[in-house]
Amino acid sequence: MLQFILRRLGLVIPTFIGITLLTFAFVHMIPGDPVMIMAGERGISPERHAQLLAEMGLDKPLWQQYAHYIWGVLHGDLGISLKSRIPVWQEFVPRFKATLELGVCAMIFAVAVGIPVGVLAAVKRGSIFDHTAVGLALTGYSMPIFWWGMMLIMLVSVQLNLTPVSGRISDTVFLDDTLPLTGFMLIDTAIWGEQGDFIDALMHMILPAIVLGTIPLAVIVRMTRSSMLEVLGEDYIRTARAKGLTRMRVIVIHALRNAMLPVVTVIGLQVGTLLAGAILTETIFSWPGLGRWLIDALQRRDYPVVQGGCCWWRR
């Protein structure tokens, strides 16, 4: 056991160096001058350009920039954003909370829908419902997130006008910063918001959570169905039926409880899928989370933000 732990810990250093080195190299290979991008159409004088490069440390050789970056990371300092001039950690925390809230809601949706559908598909094996559930699960797993998100926006938000198109909450909602806010919009609006604020936050959450939770939902449906079919063929299930137990009791108490172990394992593995899908989902819905933050930083060549975001994303 000790050797296994030491071996795993020994892989941390080369993995960390590899991730940071690749991220640093790829970010600096992106064409464009971050100073000129920050200046925009206003332009900037050569003297001011050189001054800003020196202030940001971009005038140093790449190896010195990398060494300075690694030294900061080891001391918990991810640098300062080139755009906002705010420490990366201070920008990271509120966006992490937004992504975490979206991910939790997406997983709740996937579990709440996926397990009942999977159980019912297994119980009604070979029926129209079973074939439909399996077909939709395969479709949901293979469907591009960006296409699915845009289709829902066009149908639900634009055509039916049932939910907001983008954002996390309406501009008309105001929460006092002096209150002990958690940073999770659903919780804060429920506790401190005025009447209707929680519903507003919930309506903004619905479509992004559905889009982000679609792939985990498809996986959970297939795994629940497969696990239930295996358990329903066991001897103790036939024994329970022979004892005269009701069908509902056999399915819920005896079958589902024993079929949940692989399902729970799969649910845990879907966390990585949520993080990967959050980049596209947040971009489509203008959700102010880590994914959109990282994409915006890439577009404006904000090296510290991109490097810090990628390091966290690969944990």
pLDDT tens string for the chain (315 positions)? 667 777 777 777 777 777 777 877 777 777 766 767 666 666 677 777 777 777 777 777 777 778 877 787 777 777 778 777 788 888 888 888 999 999 999 999 999 999 999 999 998 888 999 999 999 999 988 888 889 999 999 999 899 888 888 888 887 777 766 566 788 888 888 887 777 888 888 999 999 999 999 999 999 999 999 999 888 888 777 887 888 777 788 888 878 888 888 899 888 888 877 877 788 899 899 899 888 888 888 877 777 788 777 766 555
Q: What is the pLDDT of residue 313?
A: 57
What is the pLDDT, as a whole number, of residue 207? 94
Q: Is residue 77 classed as helix, strand or coil in its secondary structure?
A: coil
* pLDDT on residue 178: 59
pLDDT tens-place string over residues 185-241 = 888 888 877 778 888 889 999 999 999 999 999 999 999 999 998 888 887 778 878
Rg (C-alpha) for the chain, rounded Å, is 25
From residue 83, give the alpha-carbon distance in Å to each of 27, 58, 86, 103.
Answer: 15, 14, 8, 27
Place of tokens 């509120």: 94
How many Å from the N-terminal Cα to the C-terminal Cα in the chain?
23
The per-residue pLDDT for 155 is 92
pLDDT of residue 179: 62
- Measured over the CA atoms of residue 90, residue 96, residue 101 and residue 102, the dihedral's sign is positive
Per-residue pLDDT tens over the stretch 62-75: 777 788 777 877 77
> CA 98, CA 68: separation in Å to the nearest integer?
30
Closest CA to 282 of 151, 167, 150, 165: 167
For 87, the 3-state DSSP assignment is strand
Give the class (CATH, top level) of 95-299.
mainly alpha
Domain ranges (residues) in the chain? 15-83+301-315, 95-299
DSSP string over 182-249: -S-HHHHHHHT--TTHHHHHHHHHHHHHHHHHHHHHHHHHHHHHHHHHHHHTSHHHHHHHHTT--HHH
Q: What is the mean pLDDT of the chain?
A: 82
How far, in Å, CA of 129 to CA of 63, rounded?
Answer: 60
